[in-house]
Amino acid sequence: SQCNLGEPWRVQMNADIRKAAAAHPELNVIFKDAQNDTLKQRSQIEEFINSGADLLIVSPKEAAPLTPPVAAAFKKGIPVIVLDRKVLGGDFTQFIGADNRKIGRSAGEWMVRRLLDLPAVKARGRARVVELKGLMTSTPGQDRNAGFREALQGKPVDVIFQADMKWLEPEARREMESALAVYKDIDLVYAHNDPGAHGAYLAAKAAGREKSLLFVGIDALAQEGQVYVRQGLLAASFEYPTGGAEAIASALKLLRGEIVPKEITLKSRVFTKANVAAGGEWLP
């Protein structure tokens, strides 16, 4: 159950699942795309339960509304692997994802260092940042915000504009147009995903201001964020692995009746112009 296929990252997740499953002809993976509609995702999970699925992999759009159908499957004895965004409580078999709070904090620490080095910031004494948040009813949005704010504590960095762009590039672009209209001095945009960072870049470019500020995003897909970093559009992108291959590895174990850990935390790398050619650098 995929919450949407609008972003390249989710297309990649499904491709990773398909690829890992292809090596196991005994697996038949049925994909459903909820098209970013929570109610549709709820009913699709119910359909899977009723159709007698042996195991569910769910990447939920929002935490609270997707908790009941996931719990219902789990309570019926269907193993449920929750991927990337979390549900509430513990009624699922396994969660797989990277540590978004840590990614947000590492991104924040990286941005503080970079900002304090900018001549404009040195002259002004404080940095001015825009934060374009992922959907705040989903856990990665909440955690990428919380970790980032932790890193800013006590630092001369002000978030002068923030908005929920719901993970969507066109929303990010619109929000950034508003920020640019109001603020003449912006040093950096922190977007919770690369489509958001790219949307902000396009807004700045249309205003002829893209060279006067830095853009930082999250996901760092080889065909998306890493390319933006190499092209110099993004100053940095933090990797958010899809977990697709790990989900299939866990599914095989569960279908054989093995016990798996409640949570698998995936590692993440940072990509910058200096390290992208070498494959990025692992977060500590």
Strands of the sheet with 263-266, listed across from one edge: 56-58, 80-83, 94-98, 263-266
Q: How far is the CB of 175 from ligand FRU (least distance, A)?
A: 15
Interface stretch with ligand FRU, choices 5-13, 17-25, 45-53, 65-73 (CB under 6 A): 5-13
Build a one-symbol-per-residue string for 9-38: x at contacts with ligand FRU by CB under 6 A, - elsewhere: xx----------------------------
Considering the rule CB under 6 A, would residue 114 count as an interface residue with ligand FRU? no
Contacts of residue 159, Cβ cutoff 8 Å, sequence gap at least 6: 129, 130, 131, 152
Give whichever of 242 and 250 is closer to ligand FRU, judged by the CB atom.
242
Stretch that binds ligand FRU, among 18-26, 105-113, 134-142, 275-283 (CB under 6 A): 134-142
Query: Per-residue string for binding with ligand FRU, 69-108, x by CB under 6 A?
Result: ---------------xx-----------------------
SS in 3 state form for 189-218?
EEECCHHHHHHHHHHHHHCCCHHHCEEEEE
Q: Which is nearer to ligand FRU, 49 or 99 (CB)?
A: 99
- Tracing tokens 């850990």 back to the chain, one arrives at 261
The amino acid sitting at 164 is D
Figure out which of the listed residues 140, 199, 241, 243 binds ligand FRU, where binding follows CB under 6 A: 140
Query: From CA 97, how far away is CA 221, in angstroms rounded?
Result: 15
Q: What does the alpha-carbon distance between residue 86 and residue 95 come to, in Å, rounded to a whole number?
A: 7
Burial zone of 68 (CB within 10 Å; 0-12 exposed, 13-18 middle, 19+ buried):
middle
- Pick the stretch among 4-12, 47-55, 182-190, 267-275 that binds ligand FRU (CB under 6 A): 4-12
229-248 residues near ligand FRU, rule: CB under 6 A: 240
Burial bucket for residue 71 (CB in 10 Å: 0-12, 13-18, 19+): middle
Query: Is 143 among the residues that bind ligand FRU (CB under 6 A)?
Result: no
Residue 62 touching ligand FRU (CB under 6 A): no
Question: What x-and-dash track marks residues 151-180 binding ligand FRU by CB under 6 A?
Answer: ----------------x-------------
Collapsing DSSP to helix, strand or coil, 270 comes out as strand
Q: How far is CA 282 from the centre of its chain?
A: 17
Pick the closer one to ligand FRU by CB: 41 or 193: 193
Q: How far apart are CA 195 and CA 186, in angstroms?
A: 19
Judged by beta carbon, residue 92 or residue 240, the one nearer ligand FRU is 240
- Which residues are at the interface with ligand FRU (CB under 6 A)? 7, 9-10, 84-85, 134, 138, 140, 167, 193, 218-219, 240
